[in-house]
A = this chain, B = another copy of it.
Amino acid sequence: MIREEVLKKGKAAQQAAKRLAVLDTNIKNEALHKMAQAIVQKSAEILRANEKDMENGKKNGLSQAMLDRLLLTEDRLEDMAEGLRALAALPDPVGRVEGIWKRPNGLEVGRVRVPLGVIGMIYESRPNVTVDAAGLCLKTGNAVLLRGGSEAFHSNQALTWVIAHAAQTAGVPEGAIQLVETTDREAVEVMLTMNQYLDVLIPRGGAGLIQHVVNNATVPVIETGVGNCHTYVDKDADLDKALDIAINAKVQRPGVCNAMETLLVHRDVAPDFLPRFYDKISQFDVELRGCEESRKIVPEMKAATEEDWATEYLDLILAVKVVGSTEEAIDHIHTYGTKHSEAIITENYTTARKFLQTVDAAAVYVNASTRFTDGYEFGFGAEIGISTQKLHARGPMGPEQLTTFKYLIYGNGEIRE
């Protein structure tokens, strides 16, 4: 039964995708505005549904942090609506001609951006992902099949109902925005192998969810998530900048993938830098776990183990290591990093250039906080997640990353000899 239900929605999404692919930009933008309006107008309904989820969450003993992520308020709904309006104002990537060239035989070959087709989103936690993903998929001419976390079931249901109907009043085809309306895990398993209807799967949530999708999907996946990010304070660093940046990268929002997890400090500046850093970061209740050498300078730090270098804490914990050179810092990053966001703090031109060229990560920084790895901060105007793989999309995924291209070939009877 669940299998049939999910397949039916997949088929409807594919039908809708054909029409969405050629829908005028004006209609898509009008739909985004109507969706925003509907969220505000129907806020009472949505908040009632959210109350059910909150009650269930309390009964099921969700943590205070999880309940807070689940909670919807008038303000949070207004933020979602504002996000949709902002999407409407962005340029439409669909139809952009990326090039057109003439071949020696007279054929003209052009490359134009088109939607991916049908996107499957499998996510946990915050209900705002429902609205963000639906809006971004619509903007880029894709149909979306949403599968949110069971704890947000009623909220997601209400939100999807409201925005899907609002979109239709603007001329968006039915089936463009759909939610898999069951908390049964079987629905996820069906989505993972629904190659006939899904063009891509984007999982968002904890490492367990993402690994499950990567390991079991036959549909192409864009992996998101894990960020074991480093900040390397070079011997030629401006230590004041280093201090501000390292503190920001750790404490400004420790629970996200672009927060720093390990601080690397060059041996020459460690005696100067580490005590200052320790004094300042201690104000934020951060637990430090240092290598042997760093603990000789700041004995208050706990001892780090091998495991610490490989851990994404997502918490107010930081590993600290003294290194002897930029090469050693880069080697450490390549050994333990997850190719997400890596920063060097230095005033030395050649060292900065070497770090930028050599470090293999989605985002490589000089003299800035890794916390900027984000679709909005990069100027994409929106974000559906941060890819940690190299295929198709790398780093923050904005509207362009939800499109692909096709070749258009203009001929006059050409045949192949």
Residue positions of A touching B, CB distance < 8 A: 18, 21-22, 101, 103, 107, 109, 114, 116-117, 195, 199-200, 214-215, 218, 220-223, 238, 240-241, 244-245, 247-249, 252-253, 334, 356-358, 360-369, 371-373, 377-379, 389-392, 394-395, 404-416
Q: List residues of chain B with CB within 8 A of the CB of A222.
A: 391
Identify the closest chain B residue to A363 (Cβ). Answer: B407
Task: Please tell me if the beta carbons of A391 and B390 are within 8 angstroms of each other in the complex.
Answer: no
Q: List residues of chain B with CB within 8 A of the CB of A240.
A: 413
Q: List residues of chain B with CB within 8 A of the CB of A253.
A: 416
Closest CB in chain B relative to A216 CB, distance in Å? 8
Task: Please tell me if the beta carbons of A412 and B367 are within 8 angstroms of each other in the complex.
Answer: yes
Q: List residues of chain B with CB within 8 A of the CB of A361.
A: 406
What CA separation (Å) do A299 and B134 show in the bound complex? 52
Q: List residues of chain B with CB within 8 A of the CB of A363.
A: 406-407, 409
Task: Please tell me if the beta carbons of B117 and A390 are within 8 angstroms of each other in the complex.
Answer: yes
Q: List residues of chain B with CB within 8 A of the CB of A357.
A: 22
What CA separation (Å) do A238 and B371 show in the bound complex? 60
Closest CB in chain B relative to A393 CB, distance in Å? 8
Task: Please tell me if the beta carbons of A407 and B248 are within 8 angstroms of each other in the complex.
Answer: no
Task: Please tell me if the beta carbons of B365 and A411 are within 8 angstroms of each other in the complex.
Answer: yes
Q: List residues of chain B with CB within 8 A of the CB of A18.
A: 334, 358, 360
Task: Please tell me if the beta carbons of A245 and B415 are within 8 angstroms of each other in the complex.
Answer: yes
Task: Please tell me if the beta carbons of B390 and A394 are within 8 angstroms of each other in the complex.
Answer: no
Q: List residues of chain B with CB within 8 A of the CB of A408.
A: 356, 364
Identify the closest chain B residue to A345 (Cβ). Answer: B413
Task: Please tell me if the beta carbons of B364 and A415 are within 8 angstroms of each other in the complex.
Answer: no
Q: List residues of chain B with CB within 8 A of the CB of A241.
A: 412-413
What CA separation (Å) do A408 and B366 show in the bound complex? 8
What CA separation (Å) do A368 and B405 show in the bound complex? 20
Q: List residues of chain B with CB within 8 A of the CB of A244.
A: 413, 415
Task: Please tell me if the beta carbons of B362 and A407 are within 8 angstroms of each other in the complex.
Answer: yes
Identify the closest chain B residue to A368 (Cβ). Answer: B411
Task: Please tell me if the beta carbons of B252 and A416 are within 8 angstroms of each other in the complex.
Answer: yes
Closest CB in chain B relative to A329 CB, distance in Å? 14
Closest CB in chain B relative to A19 CB, distance in Å? 10
Task: Please tell me if the beta carbons of B220 and A389 are within 8 angstroms of each other in the complex.
Answer: yes
Task: Please tell me if the beta carbons of A411 and B366 are within 8 angstroms of each other in the complex.
Answer: yes
Task: Please tell me if the beta carbons of A416 and B101 are within 8 angstroms of each other in the complex.
Answer: no
Identify the closest chain B residue to A371 (Cβ). Answer: B416
Q: List residues of chain B with CB within 8 A of the CB of A395.
A: 406-407
Question: Other CB < 8 Å A-B pairs besides A109-B378, A368-B413, A378-B407, 9 of them?
Answer: A103-B378, A109-B379, A117-B390, A200-B390, A368-B411, A369-B415, A372-B414, A372-B416, A395-B406
Q: List residues of chain B with CB within 8 A of the CB of A334.
A: 18
A21-B360, A22-B358 known; A394+B405 contact, CB < 8 A:
yes
What CA separation (Å) do A368 and B107 show in the bound complex? 8
Identify the closest chain B residue to A356 (Cβ). Answer: B408
Q: List residues of chain B with CB within 8 A of the CB of A109.
A: 378-379
The residue in A199, A215, A223, A392 that gathers the most chain B C-beta atoms within 10 A of its C-beta is A392
What CA separation (Å) do A214 and B221 show in the bound complex? 12
Identify the closest chain B residue to A416 (Cβ). Answer: B371
Q: List residues of chain B with CB within 8 A of the CB of A200.
A: 390-391
Task: Please tell me if the beta carbons of A117 and B360 are within 8 angstroms of each other in the complex.
Answer: yes
